[in-house]
Structure 1
Amino acid sequence: MSTDLVEWLVEHEPEFRKSRLPSLYSDLAQQKSANADGFAANASAWQAALTRASLAGQLPTEQKIIIQTSARLLDALRSPQYGRPTGLGAVFDSAVHSGRFVDLKGFNAAEQSIYQKSWIPSPWAIIRWSLRQAGLLGRGSYDQDGGLKQGQLVVVEGLENLSSQLQSRVGPAVTDRIMSREAFAQLVSETEIGSLTTIEIETLLRFLSRDKYALTYDAHTVKFKARSSERPDLITQEDSTIASIKSLIASLEVQISAMTSRVATLQNTAQAAVQSKNKHAAMSALRSKKLAERNLQQRAATLNQLEEVYARIEQAADQVQVMQVMQSSAQALKSLNSRVGGVEAVDEIMDDLRMQMGQVDKVGQVISEPLDGKTVLDEGELDDEFEALEKEELARKEELQAEGTRAKLAALESAEKAAKQKASEAADRQTQDDALEAELSSSSQKLERMHLDDGQIHDETQRKEGTQLLAE
């Protein structure tokens, strides 16, 4: 067991690499006075390792969020090479002072939250009263001559981890936030940490109620707060009824599942007895099957009725929640309207606003008037200046029109020149074509005459040759 735990720490804890084991397994109590920095580093590594191992269920106990300090823990941490860790009690003392671990007795007996300032002498320490309960102030510590005092320490990191997981798993509806203690324990078992013991469940409920204000609970019912509320509501009779119905429905579902399996098993048993021609065994199995089927039908009918009632309760609870929201909304509107003062007050304010805006306009007109109130503008001068501006504008327009006309004439002249040039080029090309055609015609006639002359010469030659042959 000890070898397995040490190997697990080496594998899962970065600070527990093999090169650091000699320092971690040295005399930590002596190191605390001789080398404060080294002790702080080793203590932090041990606290993180013990926390992780405890939440993972690797320590020699069934509990996960409560560490049992005893010689058994030292034996579990024994290294084959370095032996048991010496002075581990000093590490637990440091963890309690820093608030990472809290003594279980002090935790359960406290009425104030562990996060209240009155608990801590510094931002990283637990209340002195809790330390006295743990025997850390005035009555020694967890370190007993290198050994380890027997005790129980609550792992605060585990409680905070569970708090976050549970609140994220609870639905927003009223009926989702209400459950029995058994259902709460089942919800805890579905988290990463897994199932907890009865003592741990009680510790977790106390933490969620007193320190996190996440829920209220009694001997049978647990009620989470609404997400929009700062604190949970008290448990009512309706809440207890809802929790009981949910618990009974869950129980019936388990029973029906078991009965369904039993019916199937008895059916198989009867078939096997028939095949082996064992009538007595077959009849016995069939009788048991009939009784099981009857009980199954009764349980199924009861479950259907409870589910229908629960659906009605859910509907009524939602309606109550809607009505509460509507009522609070109406109160908010009423309060806002009372602050407005009604329609008459609004009309009066608007009239006053219009009057003040008119005053602003009047003041603006007065400011814009000339300082010499007797100054009068000469209307004739204004007419003459206006006429001059008109003449100037007319001249500018005429100049623009003249420029446009000149541009158009220039464009026409350019187009005419281009047309004439194209016509001249076309005439030149026609003259050249005519001359070429005449030249080709003359050449053709010469070739024809040459062809006729060649034919005559050829005929004369043939005639002379024929005559010569006859003479011979």
Structure 2
Amino acid sequence: MSRLLEYLVEYEPAFRKARLPALYSDFQPQRTLNPDGYQANVSAWRRALARLVRAGLAPSPRAAAPNLLVLECDEALLRALESKQYGRPLALGAVVREALAAQDLVPLRDFLTTRESIYARRRNGSAGSSWSVLGLAAWTMRQIGVADLSLPSLLGKGAGGEALPAGQFVVVANVEETAQRFGEQSEGLQSRFERTFSKAHFYKTFNGQLAEDAAGRSQHLSEADADVLLTFLSRDKGAVLYDGKTVKIKAPGEAALTAITDEDVSIAQLKELLEYLTHQTALLSKRVEELTAAAKDAVVKKNRVAALAALKSKKLAESTLERRFATVNQLEEVAAKIEQAADNVQLVKVMESSSEALRSLHAQVGGVEGVEDVVDRLREQTAAADEVNSILAESAGTVVVDEGEIDDELAALEGEETRKLAEAERQKQEAEQARREAEQTKEAEETRKRLDAVEKLSAQQEQEQRHAPAEAEAQATERLMSRMSLDERPEPQAAT
């Protein structure tokens, strides 16, 4: 099993081992006999080709590095997919043509040169018309038995399943995914200085951040991939402006991008030069460190000639490094001034738009005199409404309210509420007093019990102390009597 096929079996769900014989067979006749099975096989191969290109595994003999957005269809692709067990994918040519008809694959030259968006071409449906008409013609000819004309033969590719359209084709799905990643990576770029790049600086800045393989490792775009991505972002997405040398990224919330100006070109060149010189300073710093170490090593080995040569080279490198740092500092100062000036331009534009907005709002309210007129009319209408309400109240009869009665009733309510609060406070104090008395009674009972226990223990100990001498005297007398009885025993008589 080839390396590419092993990768597909591991990462592509449709490439189960049970399905490999069908996927590697010439399934073109299923286009009319089993359309669902035909479309399933075609879809599986289209996803597989996109995944192989995105992983950098598809052969790219014309590129210095593997293409991640461009598929190269030639004999090398067939050899890479060839398996000892299943052979070559016989219907791969039909798969590529189906993808071309659906605009999932676009010839590289057409993609880079056409001014019309690929989405507009999809909507127009012009790309797939020739394939559909030829497919219908081939099916009709087979039905009437005139000839076994397959679609590849009508297209002039031969009847064999290995007829593969040769060329370089842009994988649109991969381009869309990469463009989405670019949008995520460029979200934080706010100022005009940050959003302007030369093509080379853009490639160095974003390369390695826009693509990953199945294992999550970073992938690097080729130069062809960079051209495809910039063309897609500029023409089809409107996310950047790109004239072949300078790239200007659209700011978040910006309605539309204006043309690339001379200021943008200058900013891009300045950033590229600053990046180059910064890289040079890093290399020179490393060179100085290496020469210093070489000089020390030569001194240890007592090699005076080598030490002097290393020190001379070190001095030259330090001198160059000093000039590079001075240039970098000067360019950084210029860059800071340019960025500040660009921010000032943006600030002035915002202030100008804000003043226009305020002028428009003031015009809508009619100015100060208009507002005063509106307020005067509102006061007049409010006074008229109050007068009408008074007349209506008089016609309905006036209710006289005794303010003294209301005050007395309010005082009664307040007094009742005060009594309720006092009664609640008294009950609370009584409950607290009862609780404390209960606790004191309980503590007194426990103290009495402890005192009784102590008195009882003391009496027992006193009684034991009184009985102890008598018992000791009795035991001593008993021991004395025992010894006396032993001494008074008769001695045994001698035998006669």
The TM-score with structure 1 as length reference comes to: 0.72
Task: Evaluate the alpha carbon distance shift between residue 241 and residue 137 of structure 1 in structure 2; reply closer, same or farther with a 3 A threshold.
Answer: farther
The amino acid of 2:207's aligned partner reads S
Cα deviation for residue 305 of structure 1 reads: 1.2
1:225–1:232 contact (8 Å) kept in structure 2: yes
Task: Evaluate the alpha carbon distance shift between residue 239 and residue 142 of structure 1 in structure 2; reply closer, same or farther with a 3 A threshold.
Answer: farther
2:208–2:221 contact (8 Å) kept in structure 1: no
Q: How does 1:95-106 map to 2 (within 5 A)?
A: 95-106=99-110
Cα deviation for residue 212 of structure 1 reads: 0.4
Q: Residue 189 of structure 1 corresponds to which residue in structure 2?
A: 207
Q: Alignment partner of 1:27: what SS? A: coil
**Cα distance in 1, alignment partners of residues 16 and 196 from structure 2:** 46
Cα deviation for residue 178 of structure 1 reads: 0.5
Cα deviation for residue 119 of structure 1 reads: 4.3
Q: Alignment partner of 1:176: what SS? A: coil
RMSD over aligned CA atoms reads 3.3
Cα deviation for residue 356 of structure 1 reads: 3.9
Q: Residue 174 of structure 2 corresponds to which residue in structure 1?
A: 158
Q: Residue 30 of structure 1 corresponds to which residue in structure 2?
A: 29
Aligned match of 1:211 in 236, 247, 250?
Answer: 236
2:74–2:167 contact (8 Å) kept in structure 1: yes
**Cα distance in 2, alignment partners of residues 139 and 331 from structure 1:** 65
The amino acid of 1:309's aligned partner reads V
2:9–2:17 contact (8 Å) kept in structure 1: yes
Alignment of 1:271 onto 2:299: no
The amino acid of 2:313's aligned partner reads S
The amino acid of 1:149's aligned partner reads P
Q: Residue 73 of structure 2 corresponds to which residue in structure 1?
A: 69
Q: Which has the larger radius of gyration?
A: 1
Cα deviation for residue 363 of structure 1 reads: 6.0
Q: Residue 108 of structure 1 corresponds to which residue in structure 2?
A: 112
Task: Evaluate the alpha carbon distance shift between residue 137 and residue 306 of structure 1 in structure 2; reply closer, same or farther with a 3 A threshold.
Answer: farther
Cα deviation for residue 354 of structure 1 reads: 3.5
Q: Alignment partner of 2:29: what SS? A: helix
Task: Evaluate the alpha carbon distance shift between residue 304 and residue 367 of structure 1 in structure 2; reply closer, same or farther with a 3 A threshold.
Answer: same
Aligned match of 1:252 in 277, 283, 289?
Answer: 277
Q: Residue 449 of structure 2 corresponds to which residue in structure 1?
A: none
**Cα distance in 2, alignment partners of residues 329 and 44 from structure 1:** 53
Task: Evaluate the alpha carbon distance shift between residue 366 and residue 105 of structure 1 in structure 2; reply closer, same or farther with a 3 A threshold.
Answer: farther
Task: Evaluate the alpha carbon distance shift between residue 342 and residue 292 of structure 1 in structure 2; reply closer, same or farther with a 3 A threshold.
Answer: same
Deviation by residue 1:279-334 (Cα, 9 ceiling, x = unmatched)? 22221121111111111111111111111211122222222212211211111111
**Cα distance in 2, alignment partners of residues 283 and 105 from structure 1:** 58
Cα deviation for residue 3 of structure 1 reads: 0.6
Identity score, percent = 40
Task: Evaluate the alpha carbon distance shift between residue 258 and residue 321 of structure 1 in structure 2; reply closer, same or farther with a 3 A threshold.
Answer: same
Alignment of 1:140 onto 2:140: no
Alignment of 1:341 onto 2:366: yes
Cα deviation for residue 16 of structure 1 reads: 0.9
**Cα distance in 2, alignment partners of residues 234 and 130 from structure 1:** 39
Deviation by residue 1:364-417 (Cα, 9 ceiling, x = unmatched)? 6777787xxxxx97x9xx99xx99xx9xx99xx9xxx9xxxxxxxxxxxxxxxx
2:24–2:88 contact (8 Å) kept in structure 1: yes
Deviation by residue 1:162-213 (Cα, 9 ceiling, x = unmatched)? 2122222221121110011111111331224232232222221111111000
Q: Residue 301 of structure 1 corresponds to which residue in structure 2?
A: 326
Deviation by residue 1:247-299 (Cα, 9 ceiling, x = unmatched)? 11111111111111111222222222222222222211211111111111111
Deviation by residue 1:102-133 (Cα, 9 ceiling, x = unmatched)? 222322232121222x54345xx85769999x
Question: How many pairs align?
Answer: 376
Aligned match of 1:262 in 281, 284, 287?
Answer: 287
Task: Evaluate the alpha carbon distance shift between residue 368 and residue 105 of structure 1 in structure 2; reply closer, same or farther with a 3 A threshold.
Answer: farther
**Cα distance in 2, alignment partners of residues 141 and 331 from structure 1:** 65
Q: Alignment partner of 1:14: what SS? A: coil
Q: Alignment partner of 2:14: what SS? A: helix
Q: Alignment partner of 2:67: what SS? A: coil
Q: Residue 324 of structure 1 corresponds to which residue in structure 2?
A: 349
Structure 2: 5+ residue stretches without partners: 61-65, 134-150, 212-218, 417-496
**Cα distance in 2, alignment partners of residues 304 and 228 from structure 1:** 33
Deviation by residue 1:210-264 (Cα, 9 ceiling, x = unmatched)? 1000111224321111111132221111111111111111111111111111112
1:102–1:154 contact (8 Å) kept in structure 2: yes
Task: Evaluate the alpha carbon distance shift between residue 353 and residue 139 of structure 1 in structure 2; reply closer, same or farther with a 3 A threshold.
Answer: farther
